[in-house]
Amino acid sequence: MIRRMLTYVATLGLVMLFAGCAMPKKQVDYAAFKAARPRSIVVLPPLNESADIKASYSMLSQATAPLAESGYYVLPVALVDETFRQNGLTVPGDIHQVPANKLREIFGADAALYVTVTDYGSRYQVFSSVTRVAANAKLVDLKNGDTLWSGTAVAVDDGGNGGGNLIAMLVTAAIKQAVNHVTDASYPMAGVASVRLLSAGTPGGILYGPRSPKYQSD
């Protein structure tokens, strides 16, 4: 009986493995993106679905670099933030509701990037302290409100575990958790997530912009 069960489990595992390998990769439709070919992007303050209030601006402060390196002109974050404040908009949720044509009228950008931070923070998990940042984004054409591209990214740092010794593992995890909270270990992870999410030349990523030597090569 035990031998039959082991054989069944092994067979089921192989079936699931090959089934997973056979799953088709998600295809991204770039037709609208290639037709619009935006040159300038305004990054809106990200929505924050995590429990950490720092998540929105931690992600916002690091979102422009990968976009600029991908070949786009990105409106300065401080200027965009102050413009919204001068118009009485300080909450990301309200800002995301501003019509596309109004954003184009105010900033003159070709497209707007809408980001949502779904996870941000460090968690103590007995033998480790795990820092995780996850976000999704979509690029919207401000001329007509069409979505040109969307994507998701995750960055995780699970640190060391004390070399296998039980007491050392517990102590290391506790210390790392305390340090993570004091220093905001999620901030550099937000940078990693931003690069993974908003860099051109990656599978399912955005296309290269007009300031890149690889423009229209993708």
Q: What is the pTM (predicted TM-score) of this model?
A: 0.77
Which residue, 193, 95, 167, 109, is CA-closest to 143?
109
Q: pLDDT tens-digit profile of 54-82?
A: 999 999 999 999 999 999 999 999 999 99
Structure tokens at 127: 């033998």
Looking at the domain assignment, is residue 136 inside a domain? yes
Q: For residue 121, give the amino acid letter.
A: G
**CA-angle at 25, arms to 212 and 115, nearest 5°:** 55
C-alpha to C-alpha distance for 161 and 48, rounded to whole angstroms: 30
Q: Is residue 162 part of a domain?
A: yes
Residue 161 lies in a domain: yes
Domains in the chain: how many in total?
Answer: 1
Q: What kind and span of H or E run contains 140?
A: strand 129-141
Residues with Cβ < 8 Å from 32, sequence gap 6 or more? 141, 146, 147, 148
Give the pLDDT confidence score for residue 218 in this predicted structure: 84
In a domain, 192, yes or no: yes
pLDDT of residue 8: 36
Position 28 scores a pLDDT of 83
Q: Is the pLDDT of residue 176 over 60?
A: no
For the chain, first and last CA: distance in Å?
56
Q: What is the mean pLDDT of the chain?
A: 82
Closest listed residue to residue 45, CA positions, set 99, 77, 92: 92
d(CA 213, CA 158): 36
Return the percentage of the chain with pLDDT > 70, whole number. 73
Whether the CB-CB separation of 115 and 148 falls below 8 Å is answered with: no
Looking at residue 159, what is its pLDDT? 63
What is the reported pLDDT for 14?
A: 38
Residue with tokens 């993974």: 196
Asked if the structure places residue 7 within a domain, the reply is: no
Q: Does the pLDDT value for residue 186 go beyond 80?
A: yes
Answer yes or no: is 204 within a domain.
Answer: no
Give residue 96's pLDDT.
98
Q: Is the pLDDT of residue 174 over 60?
A: no
Residue 72 lies in a domain: yes
Q: What DSSP string runs through 119-133? A: EEEEEE-SS-EEEEE
Mean local confidence (pLDDT), 119-127: 71
Across the range 187-215, mean pLDDT stands at 95
Quickly list H helices, 31-165: 31-36, 55-60, 64-69, 77-86, 92-95, 100-107
Residue 54 inside a domain? The answer is yes
| CATH code for the domain in which residue 92 is found | 3.40.50.10610
Instruction: Provide the CA 176 distance to its chain's centre, in angstroms.
Output: 24
The residue segments making up the domain with residue 190 are: 25-198
pLDDT digits (tens, 9 = 90+) for 20-49: 443 344 578 899 999 999 999 999 999 999
The sign of the torsion formed by the CA atoms of 196, 197, 202, 206 equals: negative
Residue 154 has pLDDT above 90, yes or no: yes
